[in-house]
Amino acid sequence: MVSGNLFHCRKNSWPPEEYISRNTLQLFDFDSSAPPEQAWRRRLNSHANILKEFSVTFMDAIRMVRLGIRLWSYVREEASHGRKAPIDPFTRESCKPSASQGVPLGGMGSGSISRGFRGDFRQWQIVPGICEPSPVMENQFSIFISRDGGNKNFASVLAPGQHEGLGKSGDQGISSWGWNLNGQHSTYHALFPRAWTIYDGEPDPELKISCRQISPFMPHNYKDSSLPTAVFVYTLVNTGRERAKVSLLFTWKNSIGGISHLSGDHVNEPFIGEDGVSGVLLHHKTAKGNPPVTFAIAACETQNVNVTVLPSFGLSEGSCITAKDMWDRMAKDGQFDRVNFSSGPSIPSSPGEAVCAAVSASTWVEAHGKCTVAFALAWSSPKVKFLKGSSYHRRYTKFYGTSERAALNLVHDALTNYKRWEEEIENWQSPVLNDERLPEWYKFTLFNELYFLVAGGTVWIDSSSSNMRNDQHQLVDVENTDVRVTEAKDSRKDSVFQHTKTGTELKDKDEDVFPNCSCEDAAVVPVKKGHSNHPLRPLTLPDPPDESDDVGRFLYLEGVEYIMWCTYDVHFYASFALLELFPKIELNIQRDFAKAVLSEDGRKVKFLAEGNCGIRKVRGAIPHDLGTHDPWNEMNAYNIHDTSKWKDLNPKFVLQVYRDFAATGDMSFGVDVWPAVRAAMEYMEQFDRDDDGLIENDGFPDQTYDAWTVHGVSAYCGCLWLAALQAAAAMAVELGDRSFAERCKSKFLKAKPSFEEKLWNGSYFNYDSGSSSNSKSIQADQLAGQWYTASSGLPSLFDDFKVRNSLQKIFDFNVMKVKGGRMGAVNGMHPSGKVDESCMQSREIWTGVTYGVAATMILAGMEEEAFKTAEGIFIAGWSEEGYGYWFQTPEGWTVDGHFRSLIYMRPLSIWGMQYALSLPKAILDAPKINFMDRIHSSPGSFRSSNNETGVRKIANKAKCLGNSVFHCAC
């Protein structure tokens, strides 16, 4: 816990008065229109520099040439089927990444649109797994001002400068608009999920304008946080002596990004709704069989605000009304004709034709007076469809129905509820923002890193919506099959783990196989007789009986460049954010992986790094991810290595499950997932080849650092394994499975001294026990298992001396020897003080790992070092002197600032720091006695046991096991 005033008053933020005059701030000091003191800031005229992407070195290229050839062939193969490979380093976006991002729009899981700090709408992710990064420049807010007497008139788009790609100034498109904003006196302020843009006398020196952007992201609010909508509230303050007529204009293109506007058959429709909410619906017919989308743009008419619309205008001379015509009309009258509301739906657009719409809200602002104008945007795409045919209804349809016209109700409710949303947001954020012990940079970076839960390609479905796939290959519904638990001897050991069989199996006709793949390689995991090449649907656990607990199912991408859903080795870091803010979602993700542990998919896959073959999903192994083009049904889209042989995934599952179980105290969750925890632990026994209780790595990158080879016992995987043994033992005690608790304790007591003997060098734990040039490297992430142990209220894995010495070594070398601690923690560092250059990942600084290391330091009582370590990520990624990675934090960067994989999941681990600062009451109140002392080993305890009596007793208290894998004796 943080104690005292630790942080030497280093603010590293931007006081608002340095960006806005104090007088202007006072004018906006009402109705939340002034930005908070703790916010990330940027001037609108700031240069959005192009970001530098990483490139492999010559030696890296030589080492990975075979992988590169196989990956290139795989990418081409997927493209021939109209699919995008989950990892494609060969295709570059036409829009080069730049330092231009801002707070994204909308809630979670219904598609996302980001909004750059200059006001442009970009990073379109309406279709799952597809990101269109380029801004749609027709989507703008503009302002028209005239004062009594007509001597002072201003008209401008509220975005600075002539943007790239606008076309010739003489055309009939948006180049004819007034791009007159300089941006010198305008600033952007971000504190996710809100943002403020302050126009301090631009374009009218006597008019102060605040636009605040509000999205419904409220922790523990599982309804509103799923809504695809955002509100833009303009506060106008007239400092002049004359009253001013002000018209605000919101224009929107019928597009979902890229060239989608050219596909044709798009229709715009004006509407007048309830409570003064009026606007235009833009019905978008998507290409390639994707579900349609309807946008709604609207404003709220009040006694002082008049709303009019132009349902349709085009961008070329052939249009009935052009963009130039629309602009000229607004400059002249400040509004459109009221009769436009009764014009009905427009004629469907022709292929190659763009169609746009506009909403105007006009008002008079008295001299020295104030006025508020509110706009809203919503998009409704009720059905989410994945490329291989599975379709589901999005979470928000549970409350708004499955019609695209729900966009109309969404904008209405946004405009009538946004004040309540803001109150919820402020109540959530205030305790952190007002905590004087915390550095200012940490406060706004903590909240702003949450952008990924909206912009990270999230999908949130209603659990009551069935898989609507109609193709002939649909998997058999588990509820209609005979699901039973059996015991199967693993041919590799005498251990026993549980799995499911189905009475009905599907004949596999899905040719997701390399035709020339010869799968006679000895590394292929044996498949049980009768299951070869047949997919099995994961075990179905009961849905929560209480409808209030039914929060649907949730997916989020590893990153917009690595298109895999819920990548588990990365979720290990990111999951602290969901556990803190949306714990029911976190538990459901763990349930999905628990089902996956007990299933097997025998379809053949070629692994690109080694060129060997195996099966897609091995029973007992945690999948790397939940899939790409058919999540939940076709897991393990990652095919670089055979992840059934990775050494970190299963321990990470056990650690996350126990942390969540301990933090929430949800006994029903514990009972549901316990069979998978046992299976995951028993599966790992095959990797203890010398019977010392430790798992060994296999001389290839068999963990999340999938380019960094490991030999023998490793600090990273070994520490995770020790922690998993402890967590599994603790959970077994809680659930009454004492024989398994004894088994885990015996292994732990055997493994721990072996781990320390092989890796502890008196100062830190060596990278691995091998004899390679980097075996003695200082790995920043060497105490990942200790991080989770401390986060879960379990006894420390090692004595305080070893923990603190290791962390101090990491701080002194991996952090401070890289640009004086101003970049984060480099993954690998030689004890000589030189960066480990053995592969591209060893020399990278991983943003999420750095936050995780900082969290470990906090839990070890090293708060000052923790915040100094994490501050490097802020300086390099978020500060004005950094590289411009705000709201697109990458997986990592090199010492010279070349990034890899923008908009990445792992940096959410900053919430691991916040978790460490405020551990849940359930963990703080846990008995301080070492639970290991409560486990008394008995003869034969090392053998597997299936005595579940204690679990059944608990299950009876938890309402019954239903159709879980336990045979309920209720």
Give the C-alpha separation, 275 to 288, whole Å: 38
Q: Would you call 820 exposed, middle or buried from its count of C-beta atoms within 10 A (0-12, 13-18, 19+)?
A: exposed
Structure tokens at 63: 């080492």
Q: What are 39-68's pLDDT values in tens digits?
A: 999 999 998 889 998 888 778 778 888 888
Please write the tens of the pLDDT for every residue from 429-446: 999 999 999 999 999 999
> Of 518-522, 540-544, 721-725, which gets the smallest average pLDDT?
518-522
Predicted confidence (pLDDT) per residue in 268-306, tens digit: 999 999 999 999 999 999 988 899 999 999 999 999 999
What is the C-alpha separation between 157 and 140, in angstroms, rounded?
7
482: confidence class by pLDDT, cuts 50, 70, 90: very low
pLDDT in tens, 88-112: 888 877 678 999 999 999 999 999 9
pTM above threshold 0.85: yes
Contact of 561 with 649, CB cutoff 8 Å: no
What's the confidence (pLDDT) of residue 929? 60
pLDDT, tens digit (0-9, with 9 covering 90-100), for 844-903:
999 999 999 999 999 999 999 999 999 999 999 999 899 999 999 999 999 999 999 999
DSSP letters, 653-686, are HHHHHHHHHHHH--HHHHHHHHHHHHHHHHHGGG
**Do 585 and 459 meet the contact criterion of CB atoms below 8 Å apart?**
no
| C-alpha dist (Å) from residue 241 to 122, 148, 235, 369 | 39, 10, 18, 10
Ranges of beta strands (E only) in 17-138 are: 40-43, 112-115, 121-125
Percent of the chain with pLDDT over 70: 85
- Integer Cα distance of 449 and 497 in angstroms: 39
The whole-angstrom separation of Cα 770 and Cα 496 is 31
615-636 residue pLDDT tens: 999 999 999 999 999 999 999 9
First to last CA, the chain: 43
Q: What is the pLDDT of residues 932-957, one digit of tens each?
A: 777 775 544 434 444 444 443 433 33
Residues 6+ apart with CB under 8 A from 761: 776
Tokens of 684: 């790992």
pLDDT higher at 258 or 228: 228
How confident is the model over 807-835, as a mean pLDDT?
98
Closest CA to 202 of 157, 259, 265, 135: 157
Quick one: pLDDT at residue 538?
A: 37
In this predicted model, what pLDDT tens digit does every residue of 201-242 receive, in sequence order?
999 999 999 999 999 999 999 999 999 999 999 999 999 999
Residue 969 has pLDDT above 50, yes or no: no
H or E stretch at 326:
helix 323-333
> How does the average pLDDT of the chain come out, rounded?
87
pLDDT at site 919: 93
Residue 838 CA to residue 788 CA, distance in Å, equals 28
pLDDT at 442: 97
At residue 921, the pLDDT reads 85
Looking at residue 743, its pLDDT comes to 96
Confidence at residue 502, expressed as pLDDT on a 0 to 100 scale: 33
Q: Which residues contact 42 (CB under 8 A, 6 or more apart)?
A: 117, 187, 188, 190, 880, 886
Bridge partners, residue 760, by sequence: 765
- Contacts within 8 Å (CB) and 24+ apart, 875-882: 875/12, 875/822, 875/823, 876/822, 876/823, 876/824, 876/845, 877/847, 878/40, 878/441, 878/445, 878/448, 879/12, 879/441, 880/14, 880/42
Quote the CA–CA distance of 795 and 790 in Å, as a whole number.
7
Which pLDDT tens digit goes with each residue over 787-819?
A: 999 999 999 999 999 999 999 999 999 999 999
Cα(796)–Cα(789) distance, integer angstroms = 6
- The answer on pLDDT for 501 being more than 70 is no
User: CA dist 124 to 103, 267, 376, 804, Å?
Assistant: 13, 20, 18, 45
Burial of 808: CB neighbours in 10 Å, binned 0-12, 13-18, 19+: middle
DSSP 8-state class, residue 207: E
What pLDDT sits at residue 148? 79
What the chain holds in terms of domains, given with CATH numbers, is 33-51+97-461 (2.70.98), 556-925 (1.50.10.10)
Closest CA relative to residue 715, chosen from 694, 731, 690: 694
The tens digit of pLDDT for each residue in 367-425 reads 999 999 999 999 999 999 999 989 999 999 999 999 999 999 999 999 999 999 999 99
pLDDT on residue 31 = 81
Nearest residue to 296 (alpha-carbon basis) of 273, 276, 319? 273
Instruction: Over range 541-555, report the average pLDDT.
Output: 68
**What is the b/e burial string over 921-939, where b = at least 16 CB atoms within 10 angstroms of the residue's CB?**
eebeebeeeebbeebeeee
The proportion of the chain whose per-residue pLDDT surpasses 90, expressed as a percent, equals 75
Give the span between the Cα atoms of 608 and 611, in whole angstroms.
Answer: 5
